[in-house]
Amino acid sequence: MKVLVAVKRVVDANVKVRVKADGSAVELANVKMAMNPFDEIAVEEAIRLKEAGKAEEIIVVSIGPQQAQETLRTALAMGADRAILVKTDEQTEPLGVAKVLKGVVEAEKPGLVILGKQAIDDDSN
């Protein structure tokens, strides 16, 4: 069985976030980024399934800027087999992310899709 896991690049959970001076968003310049902790749990579960012999391949997918490849590399280092980056420099809304993930699922045809509970940056799920 092929397992697909979606991962998101977020501000590291141990970093104290700051709001931009104009109040428009969170300051992301020179801030440590990491894999969303709930997505990390999803990757770990996929690895457990593979170690138990229930999964043959783990594919991680992320939607975002080129820097999101760092998050994918983390998942590969954890034990994922393959990574897909859907590159976009625009801010993506949850519905747009869902549509892109639907397309990836249709293309890859995994037997199981594992998603984290929610994102720690915008609480989307």
What pLDDT, in 10s, does the model give residues 12-56? 777 777 777 787 777 667 778 899 999 999 999 999 999 999 999
Under 8 Å CB-to-CB from 105, ≥6 apart: which residues? 4, 113
Structural domain spans, the chain: 2-115
Query: Beta 33-35 vs 9-11: how paired, if at all?
Result: antiparallel
Q: Do residues 119 and 38 touch, judged by C-beta distance below 8 A?
A: yes
Token pair recorded at residue 119: 């994102």
pLDDT at position 91 is: 84
Task: Report the CATH number of the 2-115 domain.
Answer: 3.40.50.620
**Interval 50-85: pLDDT, tens:** 999 999 999 999 999 999 999 999 999 999 999 999
- Could you tell me the pLDDT band of residue 7, with boundaries at 50, 70 and 90? very high
Residue 117: pLDDT band with limits 50, 70, 90 = confident
Whole-number pLDDT of residue 73: 96
Question: Does the pLDDT at position 89 exceed 80?
Answer: yes
Q: CA 88, 109, 46, 122: dihedral to nearest 10 degrees? A: 30
The rounded radius of gyration (Å) of the Cα atoms in the chain is 15
Secondary structure tally for the chain: helices H, strands E = 3, 6
Distance CA 42, CA 16 (A): 24
pTM: 0.87
Question: CA-CA distances (angstroms) from residue 109 to 19, 44, 60, 64?
Answer: 40, 21, 13, 22
Residue 27's pLDDT is what? Answer: 67
